[in-house]
Amino acid sequence: MEKIVSLQNAKVKKWTSLHHKKDRDQLHLFLAEGEHLIGEALSAGCAEEIITDTVSPYDSVPVYEVTPAIMKKISANVSPVHLIAVCRQKEAAPDELKRVILLDDVQDPGNLGTLVRTAVSFSYDAVCCSLDTCDLYNEKAVRSTQGALFHIPVIRGNLKDIILQLQKDDFQVIATSLEKSHTMAEIPTVNKMAFIFGNEGQGVHPQIQAMADDRLRIDMHGFESLNVAVAGGIVMHNYRG
């Protein structure tokens, strides 16, 4: 276990840079704090390094012992944290896909994290985020996934291109919408399905809706719409593979 005591150490500067999206994107790395997330990262083979200011229970990857001052600088938490993992972003999708979630401009990190966790819970194969969707690898979103992000590819890209490729691969692409839509009872389950969930305030953009093969709404009473993470859970459970 290597010990680092200087705040100016090159590794400390690298770890601290992962607080910024541009650096996370450039390095394809992010930080995960706390034993539960680190355990999930290690089990998925995504952890590259462990940082600690105490004794580490892990020895399968390089461990760096740092001072409490360095740990405070690296951590995004207000409360003291004693274990942080440097993790690789998981982006490669499996060759065979049957259930995919598409997120169009989802802005709340908590909603994003919950949707990723739900997708893993119901055995979906990948989550695809539009370029305007919030960053999965910020601290709040990582925490909200409860470690699920280590077990499913989360791909960021141009949603229009992704939809065209899915349709080319024989997916039925379904956008959630209140207008000119069908209930879940009216849309049968088929072999390959992709579901689009939209922005918390505006829903799925009209241009994206127009590309979909069908539109889906949740049949309910009293309200027109639900929180995007709640709606996602209902739809993913209904159409789970």
Return d(Cα 18, Cα 74) in angstroms, integer: 9
Q: What is the CATH number of domain 99-238?
A: 3.40.1280.10
| Cβ contact 176:235 at 8 Å | yes
Q: Where are the domains of the chain?
A: 2-88, 99-238
Return d(Cα 113, Cα 2) in angstroms, integer: 33
Q: What is the pTM of this model?
A: 0.92
Question: What is the Cα gyration radius of the chain?
Answer: 20
Return d(Cα 11, Cα 70) in angstroms, integer: 11
Instruction: Name the CATH superfamily, with its identifier, for domain 2-88.
Output: Ribosomal protein L30/S12 (3.30.1330.30)
Q: What is the pLDDT along the chain (241 residues), one digit of tens a residue?
A: 789 999 999 999 999 999 999 999 999 999 999 899 999 999 999 999 999 999 888 889 999 999 999 999 999 888 888 999 999 998 777 778 999 999 999 999 999 999 999 999 999 999 999 999 999 999 999 999 999 999 999 999 999 999 999 999 999 999 999 888 999 999 999 999 999 999 999 999 999 999 999 999 998 776 667 899 999 999 999 999 7
Give CA angle at 23 (46, 83), nearest 5°: 45
Residue showing tokens 């791909």: 155
